Amino acid sequence: MKQSRTKKQLALLIMGAYLSAALTPAFSADPPPTLSYSWPTNAGPLDPRGYSPNQMYAQAMVYEPLVRYTAQGTLQPWLATQWTVSPDGKTYTFTLRDGVKFSDGSPFNAAAAKANLDAVLANSKRHQWMELVSTLERVEAPDELTLVLQLKHPYYPTLMELAQVRPLRFAAPDAKPGTPVGTGPWVLTQTRRGEYDRFDRNEHYWGAQPAYGSVLVKVISDPDSRAIALQTGELDLIQGAEGEISPGTFVRLRDSGFKAAISAPLATRTVAMNTGLAPTNELAVRQAINQAVDKDTIIAKVLHGLEPRADALFASNMPYANLGLKALPYDPQHARQLLDAAGWKLSSGKTIREKDGQPLSIELVFLGPSALQKSLAEIIQGELAKVGIEVKLRAEEDGSLVQRQREGRFGMIFADTWGAPYDPHSFVSSMRYAGHADYMAQRGLPMKDAIDHKIAEVFAQTDDSKRAEGYREILTTLHDQAVYLPISHLTAISVSGKKVDNVQFGSTLFDVPFEVMRPATGKP
């Protein structure tokens, strides 16, 4: 009898231990960790086909492409597992990844992909900067996992443009209006205007689940405040190529023990000059500006050596851009001689040159919230003053800056290239469309029509050697006409605390790969 009671007691103990083990996680399991990041503004409505105020880093978190651009400059299968191109270059056939779902659980298939691309075609004027949109004749979905793009004519950058952040990514066709539903690893779950955006893991994601359960993106517009937030532990990560913190602050944080890294060059930091507006409509003035600005000093003092000098519009490692173009050398004395010969004289006792009673005065427009652009603008202003050119600085918010670009209301304006996978083809393509700073900058060139015609020829060219020659003609002409003042090749920076591991850069300027980052396993 005693032995029987002992067995019952033992059974109860075992059952109790089992129940305790089964129930404990439901009540005491730690929630998945949150990564805190920041951005100057809210993410926006996150329409996959929308532009400003939609923020590209956030669109890249939520929406995915058929093919993805890699840091090695290649394309890899993504929502499409394979593709073929017809011999005439006009038909692209994609096999879609099986089993992919949108974050609301609905299936991603050829019909959903076609609905998204048809929506782009239905509003093609909005997306005319992207040549593929005007080249795409129709989209077909012959079966659930096959998507066919029929082009009007061959267009060599087709796959590159499909890899871009917008507008050719995919949202659930039946999602409620204003609800961002994509196939990406993150879902926008909460927004507080002027405070933060919260992204949670997409539990339906077809790929590996991120180690973080959420990314909390705090709205911090001031770079110094962002740095303080990192130092106090309010932020885990600062990363990007948009001037999130100043180069000097980056160096200070790096030297004080924060984990810090610099990406490979991603794009070109440049100033565009308006050839349709006096006085930058004169070649001699544009050439003088190029020779009067000491880029090496700017890179050393303002950029703290974090970016290599740029001598042409595109870096030589970009496709079709290794042309051996040489920048006009820094030579203020020769700049003065150019201006003198062009009739811009500096009278005794004056600091600003004049011609026909008009001062040599130029308005330089920059993004007001960007402390880096402000510093660069002030240095350029000081450099040009030394040769008798007055530069009036005009700070603008993002929306009004875009409006000035569209209307050509600038003498000079920061007009950075877009980086891979946009450079050079998408950036060059946009030069033909009013509304882009580059079109407005070039509109006064006597050979503008010829440049635009050559751009169209290049994109339809199936012979690679002829395509390369076309690019040489376009880029050499713009270089010789001194339309741009290239300064440096943009890099992204990353600074993080000890709580974050596996911090990596995205393959473009516009994505931050939160999904590969993970909490550090050691003590902070």
Query: pTM of the prediction?
Result: 0.79
Distance from C-alpha of 127 to C-alpha of 51, rounded to nearest angstrom: 10
Give the DSSP H or E segment for 515: none
* CA distances from residue 222 to 41, 111, 229 in whole angstroms, order as listed: 10, 44, 11
**How far apart, in whole angstroms, are the C-alpha atoms of residue 510 and residue 169?**
14
In sequence order, what E strands does 368-439 have?
A: 390-396, 412-414
pLDDT given for residue 461 in this prediction:
85
Nearest residue to 336 (alpha-carbon basis) of 351, 320, 316, 317: 351
Record the tokens describing residue 42, joined without a space. 């809210």
Pull the structure tokens for residue 429.
Answer: 């393509």
Helix, strand, or coil (residue 294): coil
DSSP strand pairing (412-414 vs 493-496): unpaired
- Using alpha carbons only, give the angle 48, 53, 57 rounded to the nearest 5 degrees: 60
Contacts of 70 (CB under 8 A, 6+ apart): 76, 507
Phi, psi of 96 (to 5 degrees): -85, 150
Which parts of 43-123 fold into alpha helices (H)? Answer: 56-62, 110-122
Cα first-last separation, the chain: 57
- Can you tell me which residue has the tokens 């309010």? 234
Q: What's the Cα-to-Cα distance from 108 to each of 49, 427, 467, rounded to whole Å?
A: 17, 30, 36
CB neighbour list of residue 350: distance below 8 Å, 6 or more residues apart: none
The pLDDT score that the predictor gives to residue 31 is 78
Helix residue ranges per DSSP H, 276-322:
283-292, 295-301
Contacts of 376 (CB under 8 A, 6+ apart): 269, 298, 302, 366, 414, 487
Contact 138, 148 (CB under 8 A): no
CA distances from 439 to 58, 285, 373, 489 (A): 28, 19, 21, 21
Three-state secondary-structure class, residue 366? strand
CA distances from 396 to 224, 369, 401 (A): 19, 8, 5
CB atoms within 10 A of CB 508: 24
Question: Are the beta carbons of 395 and 368 closer than 8 angstroms?
Answer: yes
Question: What is the torsional sign of CA 103, 104, 110, 116?
Answer: negative
d(CA 132, CA 433): 14
Helices (H) and strands (E) in the chain, counts: 16, 22
Print burial letters for 227-266: b (CB count within 10 Å at least 16), e (below 16): bebbeeeebbbbbbbbbbbbbbbbbbbeeeebbbebbebb
Q: Is the peptide bond before 173 cis (omega within 30 degrees of 0)?
A: no
By DSSP bridging, strand 358-359 and strand 354-355 are antiparallel
CB neighbourhood size of 71 (10 A): 15
Answer for the pair 246, 252: CB distance below 8 angstroms, yes or no: no
For every one of its 524 residues, what pLDDT tens digit does the chain have, with 9 covering 90 and above? Answer: 344 444 444 444 444 444 444 444 444 457 789 999 999 999 999 999 999 899 999 999 999 999 999 877 789 999 999 999 999 999 999 999 999 999 999 999 999 999 999 999 999 999 988 989 999 999 999 999 999 999 999 998 999 999 999 999 999 999 888 899 999 999 999 999 999 999 999 999 999 999 999 999 999 988 899 999 999 999 999 999 877 888 899 999 999 999 999 988 889 999 999 999 999 999 999 999 999 999 999 999 899 999 999 999 998 888 899 999 999 999 999 999 999 999 999 999 999 999 999 999 999 999 988 878 999 999 999 999 999 999 999 999 888 888 898 899 999 999 999 988 889 988 999 899 887 899 999 999 999 999 999 999 998 888 889 999 999 999 999 999 999 999 999 889 999 999 999 999 988 888 999 999 999 986 44
* CB contact at 8 A, 217 and 197: yes
State the burial class of residue 3 (Cβ atoms within 10 Å of its Cβ: 0-12, 13-18, 19+): exposed
**pLDDT number for residue 402:** 86
Residue 369's H or E segment, with its range, is: none
Under DSSP, the state recorded for 124 is G
Domains of the chain with bracketed CATH: 26-63+184-263+492-524 (3.40.190.10), 64-162 (3.90.76.10), 267-490 (3.10.105.10)
Q: Which runs of E-coded beta strand occur in 193-232?
A: 196-201, 214-219
Residues 6+ apart with CB under 8 A from 203: 103, 209
Instruction: Check residue 522 and give its pLDDT.
Output: 61
Residue 169: helix, strand or coil by DSSP? coil
